[in-house]
Amino acid sequence: MFVVSAPSGAGKTSLCRELIDSIPDLRQSISFTTRNIRDGEQDGVDYFFTQTDSFQRMIAEQLLAEYAEVHGNYYGTSLETLNTAEAEGVDLLLDIDCQGAAQLKKNYRRGVFIFILPPDFAELKKRLYNRGTDHEDVIQRRLENAEQELLQAPWYDYLVINDDFQSAKKKLMAIITAERCRMSRTTYLLNNFTVKGDK
Amino acid sequence: MFVVSAPSGAGKTSLCRELIDSIPDLRQSISFTTRNIRDGEQDGVDYFFTQTDSFQRMIAEQLLAEYAEVHGNYYGTSLETLNTAEAEGVDLLLDIDCQGAAQLKKNYRRGVFIFILPPDFAELKKRLYNRGTDHEDVIQRRLENAEQELLQAPWYDYLVINDDFQSAKKKLMAIITAERCRMSRTTYLLNNFTVKGDK
């Protein structure tokens, strides 16, 4: 389970998409959300779009591995998503905010937590303005959110600075490759050495 | 500090050479040894070849970060090697046995410990015979050593199976790239966000 968080404007979504395309046995986790579907988004691809009462029922029935409320909308990952990936032996890539990540960190021991940032605050601001998709007040809110999220960064396992897209992609791919070599995940391979044959 | 251990025949030496050639700011640590210099080896390149009494003086004067005695010969890494690399801001790659690695693990908190293995015992045996450089009794001794070293493997941070040279090289490079992104080594980059400019 690879959990990626970043302030808006860090390039997280494009990076995650590239990782999914480049790395075998890595699946994008699809979150549930109560926010409205946007142009170009597809239900079941970008998110599972759901009603607030359905979402609250999932919370009450403890069907969620993590959830967060951001600006009046719920976002969450179902336990089923995690269990299915585990049963099928694929790694999950979760693109979630710091609140949800903190819940997963607390409840699951095996996750790898990665924080993505642009090189500095000025660059973050520049990218948000250059997107040209958001109003001034939305940008201000995103910048304030970024400050809050930065306070969470230090407990993450890895920090990837997205100064150059290809270099950031390479680092993220390296983290996934390396984590798959961790002794805690590969000890079983040592068993091939207990059978020594006709020594 | 990246510490690599492996039984003879795992391909460790060639892999380390490739890493040094491919990765910037990574320097091969040169060990001191009391064993005889072999054809093709160079003093100060492959090892610092030294006399037993000089080596024992280094032990007595606590000039070594780790050392081990293997089949009557001493091998060790000087503290100076570690300190110089740190002062110059380069990472060290240490190609040492499990005894020395265990000392570094105990004395230094920052090392990354990687164990390399061929896919199974039969393959290890085959590689040792195919090298054609060692006598039967030397091969037997190496196989027995391998068994001892395998008992140490579980405390290493990473396990890389060298079934295919390029794939093993890629994994080792990924481990180094990933470890350089560890939050514990990159937290200082978060400081770029405390200066917010004309927000």
pLDDT for res B127: 87
Average pLDDT, integer, range B69-74: 89
Over residues A6-52, the pLDDT tens digits come to 988 888 889 999 999 999 999 999 999 999 998 899 999 999 999 99
Please answer yes or no on whether A158 and B181 come within 8 Å at the CB atom.
yes
Q: What residue segments make up the domains of chain A, in order of their start?
A: 2-181
Position B59 scores a pLDDT of: 96
Is the pLDDT confidence value at A197 over 60?
no
Using a CB–CB cut-off of 8 Å, the residues of A that contact B are: 115, 117, 119-122, 124-125, 143, 146-147, 150, 153-161, 170-171, 173-175, 177-179, 181-183, 186-187, 189-190, 192-193, 195-197, 199
Inter-chain touch A158–B183, beta carbons under 8 Å = yes
Helix (H), strand (E) counts: chain B = 8, 9
Query: Which pLDDT does position A42 carry in this prediction?
Result: 95
A111, A157, A105, A196: which is closest to B7 by C-alpha? A196
Q: Which CATH architecture has domain A2-181?
A: 3-Layer(aba) Sandwich (3.40)
What is the mean pLDDT of the segment spanning A113-142?
86
Using a CB-CB cut-off of 8 Å, the residues of chain B touching A182 are 157-159
Which residues of chain B have a Cβ shorter than 8 Å from any chain A Cβ? 115, 117, 119-122, 124-125, 143, 146-147, 150, 153-161, 170-171, 173-175, 177-179, 181-183, 186-187, 189-190, 192-193, 195-197, 199
Full DSSP string of B46-111: TBEE--HHHHHHHHHTT-EEEEEEETTEEEEEEHHHHHHHHHHT-EEEEE--HHHHHHHHHH-SS-
Kindly report, residue by residue over B159-169, the tens digit of the pLDDT.
Answer: 999 999 999 99
Q: Do A199 and B119 touch (CB under 8 A)?
A: no
> Does residue A180 register a pLDDT over 60?
yes
pLDDT band, residue B196 (cuts 50/70/90): low
* Three-state secondary structure of A75-119: EEEEHHHHHHHHHHCCEEEEECCHHHHHHHHHHCCCCEEEEEECC
Is there a contact between B199 and A125 if contact means CB atoms under 8 Å apart?
yes
Q: Find the mean pLDDT for residues A107-134.
A: 86
- Report pLDDT for B178: 98
Interchain proximity A117–B193, CB inside 8 Å:
yes
Residue A130 has a pLDDT of 85
* CATH code of the domain occupying B2-180: 3.40.50.300
Round the average pLDDT of chain B to a whole number and report it: 91
* Other Cβ atoms closer than 10 A to B22: 13
Does B157 sit within 8 Å of A190, measured CB to CB?
no
Greater confidence, A136 or A94? A94
Rounded average pLDDT over A54-67: 96
In 3-state terms, what secondary structure has residue A183?
A: helix
The predicted structure's pLDDT at residue A196: 55
| pLDDT single digits (tens) B76-133 | 999 999 999 999 999 999 999 999 999 999 988 789 999 999 988 888 888 888 877 7
Predicted pLDDT at A43:
96
Q: What is the ipTM of this complex?
A: 0.88
